Structure 1
Amino acid sequence: MSRSTKLPWYTAGFEHKLKPSFQKLLQEWSGIPAESVVPHIYQVREEAWKVFPWPCIGEFWFIEQGLLRHPDYALTLEKLKSSGGDAKFLDLGTCLGQDLRTLAYDGAPISSLYGADALQKFEASGHALFKDSDRFDSSHFITGDIFSDSDDLARTRETWDIVHIAMFLHVFSLENQEAASRNILRLLKARPGSVVIGTQTGTMDPGELQLRPPMCDPGEHKTIFRQSKDTMKDLWESAAKAVGIEVKVWTEYDEAEAEERAKGRKEKGEDWEKKERFFTGDRERRIFFRVERI
């Protein structure tokens, strides 16, 4: 994919997205002076864009602390803190690792926290953003492809108490989402209570979406599948059955996020949302989910 800064998801600014919690994280975890936080984020965006021009990089979604919004955040944090480092947490598709740093800042042992991504160079981008290579060393970053059965990520199967995935599955076709879900479940420890939690871009009207340039190359046929909360539940239950494990699945829409976007459309005009994000509209939803082994 082109690294051109003329791609529609390479947005001009992010200051309106910068929440006090992330500002505080950079100041207190990373030691960045308050007046330097904004230029620092711009600089890191440029470095990360050179690694790969994902919309989440161009649109500054890496400053969003997605896990912090999840209803299970407090429970997850408590599990990690009370385990004394024994419980293992994997942030799959970690990119710059903002959710790992949020957990660490809030008191989770770093010895419990790991990130995995298909692009190894995002490790350096995360260190550039958080200034913590002395704390999150390379042993906490796994390079791997969720579709592989033989790489470093696959070799960690059945070792994780908690696997977190945020804004990950929606980039795939339905067939690939099914394959990825099966392999994600294989990462969990083979015991009751091990769990996958996450957040997913979705819609109240599920179905296949054909991508068009610049989301794919000219002449390329590429589709993704957009889940609803009900089809997401079906996806995980089917994956669990395929790999021979029993699970309890919970899915729900993030209605607070939908209300925030609706308020923005009302106050700033209908075009506001289209300038902010690729998926738009009053039928779009973020989906929270939990898949727990029983």
Structure 2
Amino acid sequence: MAEITREIGLDASEVPTLDESLLTLSDSEQEFLHKAITSDDTTLKEKILEVQRIAYAEHPYPCIRAFHFVNLMMAANPIYPEVLTAGRNDNTALVDVGCCMGSDVRKIVSDGYPAINVLGVDLRQEFLDLGYRLYGPSRDINFFTSDIFEIPYPVPKAAPADDTPFSSVKDLLQLRGRITHFYTGALFHLFDESTQYALALRVAELLKREPGGVVFGRHQGLVEAGYINDHLGRNRYGHSETSWLLLWKKVFSEIESSEFAEQHVVVNAQLTSGFASHIFQARTQTHMLVWSVKLV
């Protein structure tokens, strides 16, 4: 069984100060934020800086410092149009685990994925509350806190199916085998190798076993798999394109069978250039792994 090691606390002396010059928005991001928050650029910037300051004081993640909570990373994934089309046309559910302030799920709803079938989940209620502070009250999207590592593994095969409406779900275990589209951004890279495997097993347990099921996301990766040279002293593993494919094949071999993994699981992973080292105060240039896992 894969051992789970939780996130470690950060050494406050190593945390860089905020830098508002790092706030950069694409045209599509500006268009979305103008529609979702305010068309006044001055007010928009003030609101973004306010929630960043509050979030960073308690949880000084590099992605908070770099304003990724308003960068629409889900929509940039190559499989996004396919997920969106399926969501518009079929009664499918999408969950974003580690949704932070919920920008990505609000974006996909604005693009036409029915809000009643969209769930935003985070470990920390503070991030969800800051999302309400930034965007206002949620309109039909079900936001709730839940810890994916509390899902037992293996889930007992005799466990009864849960038919709670998606709008009323309050625990990830209620979604076992019910999710068609599963997104996670900047989550896997927080953990060591064994914990990432344990996380992937639980994600796969939630995914509906039928063609069209998709898990997709992005996180820090490496050209050659190994431990990340982390400037904050965390024990984090970086997967390569090759090791990420092998991880998901192993997951579905364990949960289903090696034949299922070989015949029905398609993994795409691309290592991008990432972000300049000064943005994260990292020791080296970062790389981001953008990926999807699809059942066929």
Q: Give your verdict on TM over 0.5.
A: yes
Is 1:235 the counterpart of 2:252? The answer is no
* CA 1:130–1:290: 2 relative to 1, 3 Å: same
Structure 1 CA distance for aligned equivalents of residues 106 and 16 of structure 2 = 25
TM-score (norm 2): 0.81
In the TM superposition, what whole-angstrom CA distance separates every residue of 1:139-178 from its partner, at most 9, and x where no partner exists? x113111211268112321111100111110110001001
State the match for 1:135 in structure 2: 139
* CA 1:166–1:275: 2 relative to 1, 3 Å: same
State the match for 1:102 in structure 2: 107
Structure 2 CA distance for aligned equivalents of residues 51 and 159 of structure 1 = 34
1:130-169 alignment, distance < 5 Å: 130-131=135-136, 133-136=137-140, 140-149=142-151, 152-169=171-188
| Equivalent pair of 1:253/1:285 in contact (CA under 8 Å) | no
Q: Which moved more, 1:47-56 or 1:73-82?
A: 47-56
Is 1:76 the counterpart of 2:83? The answer is yes
Aligned positions, number = 266
Structure 1's unaligned 5+ residue stretches are 217-221, 262-272
Structure 2 CA distance for aligned equivalents of residues 91 and 118 of structure 1 = 12
State the match for 1:274 in structure 2: 277
| Equivalent pair of 2:240/2:271 in contact (CA under 8 Å) | no
Is 1:39 the counterpart of 2:46? The answer is yes
State the match for 2:269 in structure 1: 252
In the TM superposition, what whole-angstrom CA distance separates every residue of 1:188-212 from its partner, at most 9, and x where no partner exists? 1132221111112101021124656
| Equivalent pair of 1:51/1:121 in contact (CA under 8 Å) | no
TM-score (norm 1): 0.82
Q: SS state of the match for residue 147, structure 1?
A: helix
1:112-127 alignment, distance < 5 Å: 112-127=117-132
| Equivalent pair of 2:95/2:179 in contact (CA under 8 Å) | yes
Q: Alpha-carbon deviation of 1:248?
A: 1.7
Structure 1 CA distance for aligned equivalents of residues 146 and 281 of structure 2 = 26
* CA 1:161–1:278: 2 relative to 1, 3 Å: farther
* CA 1:9–1:101: 2 relative to 1, 3 Å: farther
Structure 2 CA distance for aligned equivalents of residues 183 and 278 of structure 1 = 32
Structure 2 CA distance for aligned equivalents of residues 281 and 227 of structure 1 = 16
Aligned Cα root-mean-square deviation (Å): 2.4
Structure 2 CA distance for aligned equivalents of residues 281 and 29 of structure 1 = 35
